[in-house]
Amino acid sequence: MAKNKTAFVCNECGQDFPRWQGQCSACKEWNTITEVRLGSATPARGNSFSGYAGSSGSEVQTLDQIDLNELPRLSSSFKEFDRVLGGGIVPGSAILIGGHPGAGKSTLLLQTLCQLAETLPALYVTGEESLQQVAMRAHRLGLPTARLRMLSETSVEQLCDVALKEKPKVMVVDSIQVMHMSDVQSSPGSVSQVRESASYLTRFAKQHGIAVIMVGHVTKDGSLAGPKVLEHCIDCSVMFEGDSDSRYRTLRAHKNRFGAINELGVFAMTERGLREVANPSAIFLSRGSEAASGSLVMVIWEGTRPMLVELQALVDSSALANPRRIAVGMDANRLAMLLAVMHRHGGLQMSDQDVFVNVVGGVKVTETSADLTLLMAMVSSFRNRVLPQDMVVFGEVGLSGEIRPVPNGQERLFEAAKHGFKRAIVPKANVPKKSPEGMQVIGVNKLTEALDALT
Ligand code: TYD
Ligand code: MG
């Protein structure tokens, strides 16, 4: 009998080591290295596995000889989902949907597969819920149930055997954490089981041209049983996120071999399941009717479309020697940098103030266009001056206090005008030749000009 091989793998970055160590020397995380049993014969290593079904064994070709007839993508029946995947499900690809338990991953995939099964063979493998539970949910949501094939199974080998007979075009495996392989000796959910199961399913997807969608739960700290451990073997990794107390869910690709990763899909969880939000630009704009200081609206750019989001800042004198700087939904380093710029070029000293910043609606802003918005919201709170409610602000702030233009300025302004905003403070280079109707656009070059425009 072949000897069982073991490896030591970092849960965070997936780096292999010959022996255990306390700190991963690749990603510098502590206590992330676990022993992984590779099984007596790591399945299919010896197989000639060469990508998608239909491609020949180990034959060398030049690039121009390769057949470019791309297989048509399968629509998931949700436009938002398709967009995040880069235009639909690629046949034979391996997709991972991650998210916290209760985010709605099973609901999303059940709705998707029920619709897909109307036109092509689809198989839903559930290892978490009983078939009855899934059926009850489908019934309650009023989904077409006649054609979707269901299987309750947790053994990867068994489910692949069934899939070979069923020949589905799309298969869902819910979830990868409960799946196990017989020749891996640790319990389901452990790093080695998850890793081997996911790579087995990925190879299976490619060899047989079946798109496999795996569900993966993230742990409390947001990792996907070691996200990087899985990320390098699958084709797309998308995250389904949202506060459990908010009805909105967002879907975002973290890795996509077939499209861009900056697209955001927005869904709403209703009593009738998930509904896509086709025009999400203002859903995070739930402002009270009364204007308050420190509150300001910005226009961020998400993938291919603008989105209006409210930003709140609270600046309050601090009782601490080291005043607090807390940013929710934004980078705290950026906040520190902007405070320095404001002191140096705006002449406003906030070193004895606590500063709290919050992006409303649980949105995470990674764009620099929020710089100017954040600065002005802080000034508004600091001076306790209410800003007009019909004003939007965006622009990048440089270290010398200059206001830099941001991409898609015109589209952002038009989106704001569409939602009834009447005033905008933007970088001078972003001022369009013709302002949107009914909107006064003020272009600024320097931080001081922006602060003047407030008065
Ligand atoms: P689920 O898809 O089971 O989550 P996951 O598979 O990601 O763990 O979704 C569960 C949550 O969604 C549950 O808390 C209830 C809510 N929900 C609704 O609000 N409406 C619905 O129609 C459904 C099916 C679920
Ligand atoms: Mg589930």
pLDDT, one tens digit per residue, over 124-136 is 999 999 999 999 9
* 35 plus 148 within the same structural domain: no
* 257 plus 377 within the same structural domain: no
**Using CA atoms, how far apart are residues 304 and 137, in angstroms rounded to an integer?**
34
**Using CA atoms, how far apart are residues 359 and 92, in angstroms rounded to an integer?**
39
CA of 270 to the centre of ligand 1 (A): 9
* 259 plus 316 within the same structural domain: no
Q: Please state the atom number of ligand 1 nearest to the C-alpha of residue 140.
A: 22
Q: Which amino acid is at 370?
A: A
Q: Answer yes or no: is 443 within a domain.
A: yes
CA of 101 to the centre of ligand 1 (A): 9
* 317 plus 210 within the same structural domain: no
Residue 224: pLDDT band (50, 70, 90) is: low
Per cent of the chain over pLDDT 90 is 51
Measuring from atom 18 of ligand 1, which residue has the nearest CA? 271
Q: Answer yes or no: is 183 within a domain.
A: yes
Pocket of ligand 1 (CB under 6 A): 99, 101-107, 137, 141, 269, 271-273
Q: Answer yes or no: is 288 within a domain.
A: no
In CATH, what number is assigned to the domain containing residue 261? 3.40.50.300
Q: Is the pLDDT of residue 42 over 60?
A: no
Tokens of 433: 């030749």
Q: Is the pLDDT of residue 392 over 50?
A: yes
pLDDT in tens, 248-287: 888 988 889 988 877 888 898 888 899 988 777 777 776 6
Q: Answer yes or no: is 373 within a domain.
A: yes
Q: Answer yes or no: is 57 within a domain.
A: no
* 114 plus 242 within the same structural domain: yes
Task: Give me the pLDDT at residue 48, please.
Answer: 46
Residue 5 or residue 387, greater confidence: 387
Considering 235, 250, 278, which residue would you say is the last residue of a domain? 278
Q: Answer yes or no: is 64 within a domain.
A: no
* 346 plus 434 within the same structural domain: yes
CA of 137 to the centre of ligand 1 (A): 9
* 238 plus 329 within the same structural domain: no
Q: Is the pLDDT of residue 40 over 70?
A: no
* 38 plus 177 within the same structural domain: no
Q: Please state the atom number of ligand 1 nearest to the C-alpha of residue 101.
A: 8
Considering 278, 312, 330, which residue would you say is the last residue of a domain? 278
CA of 168 to the centre of ligand 2 (A): 21
Measuring from atom 22 of ligand 1, which residue has the nearest CA? 273
**Using CA atoms, how far apart are residues 80 and 277, in angstroms rounded to an integer?**
8
* 136 plus 265 within the same structural domain: yes
* 242 plus 113 within the same structural domain: yes
Instruction: Please report which residue ranges of 182-303 form alpha helices under DSSP H.
Output: 191-208, 227-231
pLDDT in tens, 335-355: 999 999 999 999 998 999 999
Domain that holds residue 443: 295-454
- What's the start-to-end Cα distance of the chain, in Å? 81
Task: Give me the pLDDT at residue 122, please.
Answer: 95
H-helix or E-strand spanning residue 413:
helix 409-418
H-helix or E-strand spanning residue 265:
strand 264-270
Task: Give me the pLDDT at residue 24, please.
Answer: 87
Q: Answer yes or no: is 284 within a domain.
A: no
Measuring from atom 10 of ligand 1, which residue has the nearest CA? 102
**Using CA atoms, how far apart are residues 171 and 206, in angstroms rounded to an integer?**
12
* 342 plus 233 within the same structural domain: no
- Angle between helix 371-382 and 447-454 (nearest 10): 50
| Domain count along the chain | 3
Q: Is the pLDDT of residue 159 over 60?
A: yes
Q: Answer yes or no: is 65 within a domain.
A: no
Considering 231, 250, 278, which residue would you say is the last residue of a domain? 278
Greatest C-alpha distance within the chain: 81
In CATH, what number is assigned to the domain containing residue 400? 3.30.230.10
Across the chain, mean pLDDT equals: 86
Residue 141 or residue 454, greater confidence: 141
* 132 plus 258 within the same structural domain: yes
